[in-house]
A and B are shown apart, each in its own frame.
Chain A
Amino acid sequence: MKIVVLFSAGRHPASGAPCPVPVELQALRLARDLAGADEVIGLHAGPVDGAPLDALGHGLGRLIHLRMAQGDDPLPALAQVLEELAPDLILAGRIGQGGEDGGLLPYALARRLGRPILADAASLGAGDDGTLTVEQALPRGARRRVVLRLPALLTVHPAAAPALPFTFAAARRGTVERRDIAPAPAAASEMEERAYRPRPKLIARAAPGASAAERLKAATQAASSGGRLLVDPAPEEAAREILAHLRGIGVLRRRG
């Protein structure tokens, strides 16, 4: 099975240094585990190859770098090369870490290539005759098993197995193939670039003038999202509570 993993020019959220996007490295690991290291090709389109080059150290054997000018639209070049490579599976991160990377591109690419796209894969398994079993990560730790026919395009979720560690010798062994791409029309949308900042968590507020203990209670109760704490319950009671909770959040179907 031939797999292409898309790499974007990520930046480290704290240092701002070029850095492969963790979820793309996780995609690389999924691809390696599924098809073996020799079947995986990395693909990047952009002006410099700094961050994607590091993916070689994380287990990528071969990287194709489509060199293009800053601001050019990577979509036509990627689509052209992917049509030529004709991989069974294309993997991308669910979101990038800098500029216009990641987010929307997999969808645009899937439309251009006419492939099905499935978001947020957490693990992959080979199915029967040209199918792929995908475990899809849903909110609150839920998982959904999906079987889809290849070829397809998947985005990978951070809940997938952790990336392989950087290995100096692997980075040294990996090969890069650079191709110059004819100028493409600049991407249409105007985008504003801002420094990364962690999103503030919404915490419930206690009434004005409440004591510190009340404020703490309000904050922590909101964070626990309405669960119930049972101390040392009987096993049957515990099981009933868990089932009721799972039905409540829709993991299990409601009875009758």
Chain B
Amino acid sequence: MSVGAGLAFVILGLSVIAAALAARRARLWRAGQPAKIDWVAGLLAVPKRYLVDVHHVVGRDPSAARMHALAAGGLLGGSGLALLAGLTGSRLVWAATALLFALALAGGLLVGGRRYPRKPARLSGGKFQLLPFALVAYGAGALLVALDAALGHALAPLGWIGLVLAAPGGGWLAFQIGRGPMRHAFAGALHLAAHPRPARFDGVSETALVPLDLGAPRLGVATPADFAWNRLLGFDACIQCGRCETACPAFAAGQPLNPKRLIQDLATAMQPGASNKAYTGSPYPNARPVAGIGGPDLPIVGAGAMIHPDTLWSCTTCRACVEECPMMIEHVDAIMDLRRFQTQELGALPEKAGRPLAELRYADEPGGRALAARTDFAAGLDLPRLREGGHADILLWLGEGAYDLRHGRTLRALVALLKRAGVDFAVLGEEERDCGDLARRLGDEDGFQRLARANVATLARRSFGRILTADPHALHALRNEYRAFGGDYEVIHHSALLDELVAAGRLPVGALAEARVTYHDPCYLGRYNGEIDAPRRLLDRLGVARVEMERSGRRSMCCGGGGGAPVSDIEGDARIPDLRMGQAKATGAGIVAVACPQCSAMLEGVTGERPAVHDLAELVLMAVEAAPVAEAAR
């Protein structure tokens, strides 16, 4: 038997072992709930999803993209071609095989270069640290075999040495398919085919939470078996690259949340007799003690289980982890499913979150204030009301921020601008209930659905063109999440409308005194709804020098105000808004432009020397008020 045939035989054997281990792992997913999956479309779309969507994420770090293309492409391509070469014995095919294994070897060396001499904190250790050695052994060994075969066994002894090197290297890799680092390869590919949110690959903002069936015997997720099976598959796709942990605001603030660890805990929990001991990445910061045991039918959350409740309630639902994940894992969906069980079944909310939810239930408003007081901010402004059967071009949705004195100033500016531009608009007044975002993010799905239905019914009795709101959370609920309850509206954020008005010349603007402005993207506008251009266009129209923060656009950092985090109030080392304000300060801007009541509340709460916080509407009003002066000076 030639050494080439030997390699082909080894590869064949290892492929069988890998397939068996993969199948054994896949059996665990069967514990999960059934999911509706369009397999044909999904499988056909895998190459596009992999080469375009995954690459788009991985390519943000070009060296990682190069490394992975070489290692994965060389490994899979070389191994496949080696089988063919072993079958045909063609020296030309062996030469091509050698080339691919040379690439795999280069990839393996890059993997090593990334982890040695010093491993970055976001990467996991343990078996992952052995990965470069296995890759190099397999790549180098197979390269020698292929070269030997291509040159007609001119290197005879070297070929055999190569095979002796390639077999253990490849063997180690194959045995990592079940629980080790290589699991991501097959689980990741399947995850792309059976993804629970396939529309996100079609350029759609597929971010609305799926409504919970309130008639179900168990609400939310208590055990791994309560997840849909393709969610379990998603957890197994994690390669522990740690990009999520570097993006997570709660992790940065030292709150006990690390999205990577969370996904690993979930992936571990689906194994019978599971223990979290094998994890080798960075821990939850200030981790609360947990037993760290689990199983497919054992609870996930609790001090005696895998994940501490504080971990769950630290999340601001900002989706930064989802945005960064090259394996397209939906962390926030998992957290929301777990929260729903905690809230709806156990009533195990953070102590301070119970009150706003109760007020929402009994007063339709988380502060327990009268709905009629929502328009108090506009005292003296003559705010038109949209009565039943009435019509307005634009329905102005005031949102929860209207009760806040700070955001009230923003809304006053917005109303003044609308009047100046001659927009036909009106508000619901006391007929406007809370949009339910807070209830939903705190897991109170029943509360959200009740509010959604009530608001949809209120809106159905009125006629309007578009809904305008200065609250991205309300925008997301009304635009994306009410659809499941029969509310299909065109919802526009005030940044987009003001951009339209200024562009159309309906709001003549002058120059602002403060020239340097940095824009803080609200998560629910940027990441959830993909609107990152209109606010920037608007700022540019005001003639300010716009500077970008270290993290901006779709990769912006959360202010810490989403997901009910301010009422959950989980202790950490720092406050998220302080971290974000630090980034804003670093740009040297004098003004942080915000576009969300939560962001303005959180960032205004930062103490000490810092840039001023102004909503876009306030900046536009300043510019509009500066306009006549500027003309007179000319």
Contacts and interface: CB of A to CB of B under 8 A. Distances in A.
Interface string B357-372: 1100111110011110
B507 interface: no
Nearest to A15: B363
Interface in B325-365: 343-347, 349, 351, 353-355, 357-358, 361-365
B358 A14 contact: no
Contact of B345 (A15, A17, A59, A169): A169
Interface stretch (A84-92, A157-165, A213-221): A157-165
Contacts of A166: 347, 354, 357-358, 361, 444, 447
The prevalent SS among residues of B at the interface is helix
A26 to B, nearest CB: 12
A168 B371 contact: no
Contact of B351 (A17, A59, A162): A162
Nearest to A17: B362
A15 B346 contact: no
A165 B363 contact: no
Contacts of A54: 361-362
A168 B363 contact: no
A166 B445 CA distance: 12
A140 to B, nearest CB: 24
Nearest to A165: B354
B320 interface: no
Among B358, B361, B363, B446, max chain A CB count under 10 A is at B358
Contacts of B353: 165
A169 B212 CA distance: 13
A196 B371 CA distance: 15
Given A17-B362, A165-B357, A170 B347 contact: yes
A12 B355 contact: no
A89 B386 CA distance: 53
A162 B355 contact: yes
Contacts of B444: 166, 168
A175 interface: no
Secondary structure at the A interface, as helix, strand, loop or mixed, is: loop
B370 A168 contact: no
B347 A15 contact: no
B354 A15 contact: no
Contacts of B354: 162-166
Contact of B219 (A14, A18, A165, A169): A169
Given A14-B363, A15-B363, A168 B214 contact: yes
Contacts of A17: 362-364
Contact of B344 (A59, A162, A163, A168): A168
A165 B358 contact: yes
B358 A163 contact: yes
B370 A169 contact: no
B347 A164 contact: yes
A164 B355 CA distance: 9
Nearest to B361: A166
Interface of B: 214, 219, 343-347, 349, 351, 353-355, 357-358, 361-365, 368-371, 444-447
Q: Which 6 A/B pairs are nearest by Cβ-Cβ distance?
A: A167-B347, A165-B354, A19-B362, A15-B363, A168-B446, A169-B345
